[in-house]
Amino acid sequence: KLTTVEEFEAATARLLETGAKVGADAWQIRAKNQTPHCKFGEQGICCRICAMGPCRITPKAPRGVCGCDAHGIVGRNFLKFTAGGAATHSDHGREICHTLYCAKEGGNYQVKDPEKLLRIAKEWGVETEGKDIYDLAHEMAEIGLMEYGKPFGYQRFLDRMPEGQKEKLIENEIAPRAIDREVASSLHMSHMGCSSLPEALVKQSLRCGMADGWGGSMMGTEFSDVLFGTPKPIDTEANLGVMVEENVNIVVHGHDPSLSEMICEYADSKEMIDYAKSVGAKGITVSGVCCTSNEVAMRRGVPMAGNFLQQENVVLTGACEAIVVDVQCIFPALGPLSKCFHTKFVTTSPIAQMPDSEFIRFNAETAGENAKAIVKMAIDNFKNRKPELVHIPQLKQKATVGYSVEAIVKVLDGVTNSQVDVTGTTKPLLECITSGVIRGAVAMVGCNNPKIRPDYAHIELMKKCIANDIVIIASGCSAQAAAKAGLMDKSARDLCGAGLKRVCELADIPPVLHMGSCVDISRMMILAAELAKDSGLQINQLPVVGCAPEWMSEKAVSIGNYVVGTGIDTFLGVDPYVSGSSEMCELLTEGTRKWTGAAYTVETDIEKLVDLMIERIEEKRTALGI
């Protein structure tokens, strides 16, 4: 039985009652206070990129002081938004490259998947013969870091695309060059007095996004696998009920697995568990929020306490000894909120420093000591709990997670009747799609956004897709929404159409496959590229679409741009502040097709959004004659 959104909401309401008792603020209150939002901002027609403004476009004042019209203003804002997201994901990828550079035998970080490292080295033309694995790791990390600033050439991973696609991207000036160059060029282009031509701004938005998806994010994912292991199917649980009242609860939140992996490692040590027992706890429970939770769930089965809009809820349980964060998607609200409880709010990265937090600077050399100090701090804090404030909603669901591309290929190998041998390719999956047993796939990604009833869009869209024999691959907070609802439990196959249900039974998989965090959307790009290569098609011909129904961050716009840039139609449930320009709307919803074969659809009515996706998948099938 699925957990309903109504049940999530009832649990949240109960937690907010505790919050009200201690005078805590909450996003529900703040969102209300901020509504209605500024109409100029919503439409993207407010410009404050120079000091002659700020300018706002109205029928009476159709141009800013410099003469820029609504189309140029919306376009520049869209490009800046993308650059913010691409910089953020790519800097995460850069950190992972640095961590790989620090990996050593017996050190804090080690190479857990040497085969993957060797595979990527061969792909990049790096000599591997007779090399010590750590020497190779350092060499690869350095080459990876060069991808950020190399003066010539395009991102190396573009060679993973089906034949001809990279060339087409180069021809259309969408192929990403050095990652930092694309971010810097975007900021340059959107500076006062540079580009105001929507077409140029949209093209650069795609190229900047591509530098994220096929550059920084892809390196983040691939090298995280090398360091921490490539995910394989593993059982876990999701929702606040994973927190255990009798235990010391540590919640990891953010994105970079370098921190969360280390916290899990130490929380699992006998020394720390004994110490927790010595203070009267039964043990230690580490659970996660947001994408770092996806990282440790995929590799260790660490339970997922919740997604983006539940981050305050973990503190409101009164049973969270420490919420430990690295970078991105962290509400500054956690500072004042944790002060209303006994919770320690621990920040660890110079990139994300916040008031009312305890800052323990985390880095690769001192990671072990840092993690130990944090776990110990949480244990010492157990005695400070206020029992009258403790309430953990007893909601949780089982989930099977860990479907990396490697794992998907493996579980689906041999599911079709004609298949006798293990192929090690996506061909069996293609056979399911070609025969119509599976109609297509939707990549469900992205955040929660208070503008949409939290998790509702994710869950309803997924339910309808699987009922229509469309398999879901999910990541980020969308994946967590699915897990909390029960859609990642293998028994959710009973909600599928007959074809998908049969495949799920044969492969022993849930119908919604957890592919990881947001940087792992690069895994989805790799899977799409493999499907295209194995079928002799271009990516834009596949019956596959992307969807972010509740997105909210700059990173999500960067992702959208690389998914469209890759040739996959992308469906959004929230408008990316472009409605103020008819030219920008036309370019994004149709114009990009001439360069990539894909475009955006924005539809805030969730029922309509899912129907449009199904329609698009069927159109692609018809065009292929399948």
Phi, psi of 89 (to 5 degrees): -60, -40
For residues 33 and 470, what is the distance between their CA atoms, to the nearest angstrom? Answer: 39
Q: Decide if residue 290 touches ligand BF8 (CB under 6 A).
A: yes
CB of 555 to ligand BF8, least distance (A): 5
Phi-psi label, residue 477: left if phi above 0, alpha if psi -120 to 50, beta otherwise: alpha
The C-alpha atoms of residue 36 and residue 247 are separated, in whole angstroms, by 42
Q: What is the pairing mode between strands 46-47 and 55-56?
A: antiparallel
Of the pair 454, 499, the CB lying nearest ligand BF8 is at 454
Strand pairing category for 248-253 and 344-347: unpaired
- Angle made by CA atoms 529, 403, 212, in degrees to the nearest 5: 50
Q: Is residue 486 a contact residue for ligand BF8 (CB under 6 A)?
A: no
518: contact with ligand BF8 by CB under 6 A: yes
441 to 480, contacts with ligand BF8 by CB under 6 A?
446-447, 476-477
Q: Write out the H or E segment, with its range, that includes residue 431.
A: helix 427-435
DSSP for 547-603, written as a single string = EETT--SHHHHHHHHHHHHHT--EEESS--S-TT-HHHHHIIIIITHHHHS--EEE-
Stretch binding ligand BF8 (CB under 6 A), from 158-166, 451-459, 549-557, 560-568: 549-557
Residue 555 is a binding residue for ligand BF8 (CB under 6 A): yes
Question: Residue 411 CB, nearest distance to ligand BF8 (Å)?
Answer: 24
From residue 548, give the alpha-carbon distance in Å to each of 4, 476, 574. 20, 10, 8
Contact by Cβ (8 Å): 482, 468: no
Choice from 291, 316, 531, 572 touching ligand BF8 (CB under 6 A): 291
Tell me the closest approach of the beta carbon of residue 489 to ligand BF8, in angstroms.
21
Nearer to ligand BF8, 290 or 609 (CB): 290
Alpha carbons within 13 A on the beta-carbon side of 566 = 38
Q: Which is nearer to ligand BF8, 70 or 333 (CB)?
A: 333
In the shown chain, the binding pattern of residues 317 to 336 toward ligand BF8, with x for contact by CB under 6 A and - for none, equals: ------------x-------
Binding segment (CB under 6 A) for ligand BF8, from list 168-176, 337-345, 368-376, 551-559: 551-559
CB 86 within 8 A of CB 558: yes
**Contacts with ligand BF8, 240-279, as mask; x by CB under 6 A:** ---------------x------------------------
Of 53-61, 182-190, 317-325, 552-560: span binding ligand BF8 (CB under 6 A): 552-560
Smallest distance from the beta carbon of 86 to ligand BF8, in angstroms?
A: 13
Using CB under 6 A as the binding rule, whether residue 308 contacts ligand BF8 is answered as yes
43/263 Cα distance (integer angstroms)? 42
Q: Diameter of the chain by CA atoms?
A: 72
Q: Is 524 in the site for ligand BF8 (CB under 6 A)?
A: no
Least Å distance, CB 193 to ligand BF8, is 32
Minimum gap (Å) between residue 307 Cβ and ligand BF8 = 6
Interface region with ligand BF8, contact rule CB under 6 A, candidates 150-158, 413-421, 458-466, 553-561: 553-561
Query: Interface with ligand BF8 by CB under 6 A: which residues?
Result: 255, 290-291, 307-308, 329, 446-447, 476-477, 517-518, 553, 555-556
